[in-house]
Amino acid sequence: MLTNDRIPGVYLEGVFSTPEPELMTGVPAFLGLANYGSLNAPQLLTLWPQFEQHFGKLLSDNYLGYAVRGFFENGGRLCYVVRIKDVTQSALQEGLNAIASLDTIDLVCAPDIMLARQDTEILMMQKAILEHCELLGDRFAILDAGNQSVREVQQQQQGLSNINGALYAPWLKVSSLEKATGNRQQATGTTDLFEVPPCGHIAGIYARSDRAAGVYQSPANYVLEGVLDLSLTITNADFERLNSETATTGVNCLRSLTGRGIRVWGTRTLSSDPNWRYISVRRLFLTISRWCDRNLASVAFEPNDFKLWLRIERELTAYFEFLFRQGALKGNTHQEAFFIKCDDETNPPEIRDSGKVVTEIGLAPTIPCEFIIVRLIHGSTGVNLRQ
């Protein structure tokens, strides 16, 4: 910046740097059916009324609008909506292709695939969503279980296995002020109950949990807003069967708890690998991957030498120290919580000659508490406290 100062010397000028854009989490892409709107064109929404402006009013022959409404009711602030042509594998794939380039989303929901007539069709489309998330490596799928019985949920559970998704059951009973008869809407004047897949409401819980703590916080034990009842009652025995040690994957159940409302009661992925059992752990690593992609892209084409290795270690250390202070990583010290290695051992001559720079990272993520054990110790002369 040129100045009007004519006398040689040192002059101070205040320069305000432009803050880097925030890496948002809890941002879903919803794919489904709508009355109107461009096909396979992601539309950004920040308020629920915007849905009706772009896609029309709620109808009882699809679930997309109810999912988006549930998202905003439960704490969501920003989402993308994609209208797909119909409920087929090819139409869903076109919608997934439309959101592939979005680097602002980290969740994928497709409530209307539950309208498919055959369970096998639903399963194939859910697998396509999981494959999409695995291929992109920066997003997580929230999937809906069947709505007929716990037995149906078990069968669906057995056909799904992936670290990048979670399954939720049962469906939710929500209010509907309109009925659809064919292609005509009729105002009823009364509030009717309508059963909808839970993915939209759950996505809102993810967003609320992320703001309250971070992706390392399990999106569980939250009250579901805008929900009047559940389509199925999942008993303790049902819950145990769906999440037993013999079950290859877990099902996150929504339960009506006496005096505590309807809550999300589970935090497991669809992975059989114990290392990726919990949603919070998987989403933490996905978020770290997104952060690296955004913040380390500037080192591309730099000379592959000691200065570059030091820069990578410095930037990663600052980020992981932030995560450690927030409680995302366990350990009493930084050394116990993570390690970063980027030197001549990870980058021998043959690696550098191939144009690569290799950094090894070790992280100790916090694990959610699923079981709370309270031991009551009875003493003959009174209560004894044992620590």
Residue 165 sits at the vertex; the CA angle it makes with 329 and 282, to the nearest 5 degrees, is 10
User: What's the start-to-end Cα distance of the chain, in Å?
Assistant: 65
Query: Cβ neighbours of residue 251 under 8 Å, at least 6 residues apart?
Result: 145, 153, 157, 167, 168, 169, 242, 243, 266, 268
pLDDT above 90: residue 287: yes
User: Which tokens hold the place of 290?
Assistant: 């997104």
8 A C-beta contact, residue 163 and residue 285: no
pLDDT band at 189 (very low <50, low <70, confident <90, very high): very low
User: What pLDDT is attached to residue 191?
Assistant: 59
User: What pLDDT is attached to residue 14?
Assistant: 66
Higher-confidence position of 284 and 20: 284
Domains of the chain from N-terminus onward: 28-281 (3.40.50.11780), 299-387 (no CATH)
Structural Rg of the chain based on CA atoms:
25
User: What pLDDT is attached to residue 92?
Assistant: 98
Q: What is the mean pLDDT of residues 300-326?
A: 90
Residue 136 sits at the vertex; the CA angle it makes with 46 and 112, to the nearest 5 degrees, is 55
User: Which tokens hold the place of 344?
Assistant: 């001549």
Which range has the worst mean pLDDT, 189-193, 197-201, 339-343?
Answer: 189-193
Residues 226-265 have pLDDT tens digits of 999 999 988 888 888 888 766 667 899 999 988 899 999 9
Q: Can you tell me whether residue 131 is helix, strand or coil?
A: helix
User: What pLDDT is attached to residue 15?
Assistant: 59
User: What pLDDT is attached to residue 34?
Assistant: 94
- Percentage, residues of the chain above pLDDT 70: 86
The H-assigned helical ranges of the chain are: 49-55, 64-73, 89-99, 119-136, 150-158, 199-212, 236-242, 279-295, 306-326, 334-337, 349-353
pLDDT above 80: residue 386: no
Residues 330-362 have pLDDT tens digits of 999 988 999 999 988 888 988 888 888 999 999
